[in-house]
Structure 1
Amino acid sequence: YELLRMNHGESISDFQKQFTHLINHLVDLGRKFEEEELNLKVLQCLDSSWKIKFTTLEESKHLTSLTLATLFGKLREHEQKLHIF
């Protein structure tokens, strides 16, 4: 969990699958997560090419009200706007 990072060139959808699989496994082992903690972790794991979006989302102060699914949705929207994938 602590060493997880998005690979350069990896799509948000692929990273979401990897992240969700890891979190589900940790939850099965008894680990508990707050939504804000997961949101921050996702943002911290993003490839450096996402720095501007990371800063925008982090500064919005809405991380506590966003669900993880909504955060990934916003990241996918941004990815599509940039035509990255």
Structure 2
Amino acid sequence: MFSKIKTCATAKEIWEKLVQICEGSDETKENKLTVAQQKYEAIKMKDGETMADFDERFSAIIIELNSLGKEYSNRELVLKVMRALPREWDVKTMAMRESKDLNKMELHDLFANLKAYEFELEIRSEAPSEFELETRSEAPSTSQPTKALAAVSA
């Protein structure tokens, strides 16, 4: 980096050179903005991705857009996140749309709410329900496919 600014005579020249090196020309900035906007428009939560990982990916894009001069309202960001979630999240996002004022919702509050819901789902999937416990105690250990096979051969 020093080799690129050592010929500059004033602090102003050094600053302008550093800005040009780090930010690029107006055309370069415009291209970076276009790419960042395409990432924003195309973002979707990936299969198997945690909400924390998705939050991190989404936030990185927003930071990049902000640094390039593009800003979105909280409402736009919240709605974008909700649209980027898989279908399994539709019930949760619909409930949030109906119960919360999306104009007042902060992005970090949305992600905190979604992370809590994700954690709750994980806990429920790990613990057997009362119905499962009752079914296990009443039914013999024979599996459903084995029972079906026995019924066909009888």
Q: What is the CA-CA distance between 1:33 and the residue it aligns to?
A: 0.9
Matched positions, count: 84
Residue identity matched to 1:50: W
Q: Which moved more, 1:37-46 or 1:53-62?
A: 53-62
Residue identity over aligned pairs, in percent, reads 37
Q: Which moved more, 1:12-21 or 1:56-65?
A: 56-65
Match for 1:67 among 102, 106, 112? 106
**Does the alignment pair 1:10 with 2:49?**
yes
Aligned to 2:62: 23
Structure 1 length normalisation: TM-score? 0.92
Q: What is the CA-CA distance between 1:65 and the residue it aligns to?
A: 1.2
Match for 1:51 among 90, 97, 100? 90
Higher helix share: 2
CA distance in 1, matches of 2:48, 2:98: 25
With a CA cutoff of 8 Å and minimum separation of 6, indicate the structure with the bigger relative contact order: 1
Structure number with bigger Rg: 2
Deviations 1:10-65 (A, max 9, x none): 11000000000000001111101101100000100011111111111122241111
Q: Give the RMSD, CA atoms, in angstroms.
A: 1.2
